[in-house]
A = this chain, B = another copy of it.
Amino acid sequence: MSSLRAAARLRPIASRVTPSLRTQRPYSAAAAVKTSSEPSGEQPFFPNEPSGPTVKTAIPGPKSKAAITELDKVFDTRSLNMLANYQESLGNYIADPDGNVLLDVYAQIASIPVGYSNPALREAATSEQMISALINRPALGNFPQHDWADILKTGILTVAPKGLDQVFTAMAGSDANETAYKAAFMWRRQHERGGAHVEFSEEDIASSMLNQAPGAPQLSILSFKTAFHGRLFGSLSTTRSKPIHKLDIPAFDWPQATFPLLKYPLEDHIQENAKAEAEALADVERLITTHHLPPCAVVVEPIQSEGGDNHASPAFFRGLRALTKKHNVLMIVDEVQTGVGATGKFWAHDHWNLDTPPDMVTFSKKAQTAGYYFGNPELRPNKPYRQFNTWMGDPARALLFRAIIKEIERLDLVNHTAKVGDYLYAGIEGLAKQYPGEFQNLRGKGQGTFIAFDSPRRDEFLKKAKSVGINIGGSGERAVRLRPMLVFQQHHADILLDAMEKIVKS
């Protein structure tokens, strides 16, 4: 751990804050509490970050309760977890109206990349380019701005997965996936017709307007059991996480394949797990070759996130890529939750060493914008206006993603997260040895901070965490999922480990 503790290369974030920004107020929460001094010698990314959580009241406290009552009159608050004051939040710490400041390892459902009130993002947010993007929002497909190519090339495309040099921008994870599905359907039908140059038939045209085949084809997207790909009608048809996500919503009769349920610790279940993965792949092949609505693509998460943090091995994903190649079916990797560094690689599928890249990779969350990457020119539909909508993304959010990417590069946050993830994993492994009943099926080794374990009293665990200063989330039925930001450091890991021990001991 000594190399981690030294961490001399990590330059603190405030070093690039301009004087005029320093005088502004995002740091007031931090300033109000003791600032950090690191026993590990590690330099904090946010020098003014609190040295630890502050819990002043039960959460929600009186001020939050009053505000929630007001909010509930106009906005559904039944899924409210915690009312936040973001202007008082800094780095890894989220503040609430009652002065509570929690270490946040849930991070807006895994969507805050480089810390609250990050000065580099503030700089991007106040630029002339951003202001124009906000107040002059273009219909990008018709009237792109003159600097759109530059924004893409210096931002989103600099982190394009290997082999994929094109992007279609969207708004959030759900429509990123759905537009990727649409590209897949168009690609498949184009192949069936004999190529991009072949015109639509009269029957195609007429039937499409009636929502009937062949114009509205009897094809499908294959997804996995316990997968989550979004909650609009097409994406929800591929989502199989929980009944509450799906009940009462019409769905396409698309197929779902078995996802391998690995046993932990992995080293004690090598053969069993390999068998489970082989069976899952056989199920995929069966569905590709026999389902009454032939799949034109398989969509898969590198780690099933909402469904319970279910992992599979790189060999499984290589096998899946081989199967999709064999049957001329597209492979869409849904990196909405896994992408942008949290697994210790920029894209989680970088862990797999695929021979050929996925056909499409979707992203959102930590990117703060969304879309899908692709490389094969055949995935550009053969005519304009086939993949189109009014806004087609948001240049303001694309500018923010560019600033996030630059911040990740400046602080080498992907490698950092790989290392701090190893440290955190080792710490939880230690806890699991001490409290084996409380930390079950620990998973995410070598996957950065994308770590989870099952808890026998999961919902209680999450609730108690607040009382010891931690904001933490769950996934699936039993998992506690860790989703720290990329600026999560060893001293935060120490606080988190201490707190988790307190929770299970209480």
Contacts and interface: CB of A to CB of B under 8 A. Distances in A.
A130 B143 CA distance: 25
Contacts of A441: none
Contact of A252 (B171, B233, B396): B233
A389 B211 contact: no
B145 A84 contact: yes
Contact of A189 (B96, B153, B172, B248): B248
A205 interface: yes
A248 B185 contact: yes
Interface in A396-410: 396, 400
A208 to B, nearest CB: 4
Contacts of A208: 243, 246-249, 251
A235 B390 CA distance: 14
Question: Which residue, of A70, A76, A135, A240, has the highest number of chain B Cβ atoms within 10 A?
Answer: A135
A368 B76 CA distance: 22
A1 interface: no
B212 A86 contact: no
B146 A84 contact: yes
A365 B390 CA distance: 8
Nearest to A121: B135
What class of interface size applies to chain A in its complex with B? 35 or more
Given A117-B136, A232-B233, A250-B185, A209 B390 contact: no
B233 A383 contact: no
Interface stretch (A216-224, A267-275, A349-357, A442-450): A216-224
A257 interface: no
A231 B389 contact: yes
Interface string A48-86: 000000000000000010010011011111111111111
Contacts of A19: none
13 contacts: A76-B380, A76-B387, A86-B138, A94-B143, A97-B146, A122-B135, A125-B135, A208-B248, A208-B249, A211-B252, A220-B250, A233-B237, A247-B386
Given A76-B380, A186-B248, A233-B235, 10 more contacts: A25-B128, A78-B383, A79-B142, A82-B142, A84-B138, A84-B145, A118-B135, A125-B131, A186-B249, A209-B246
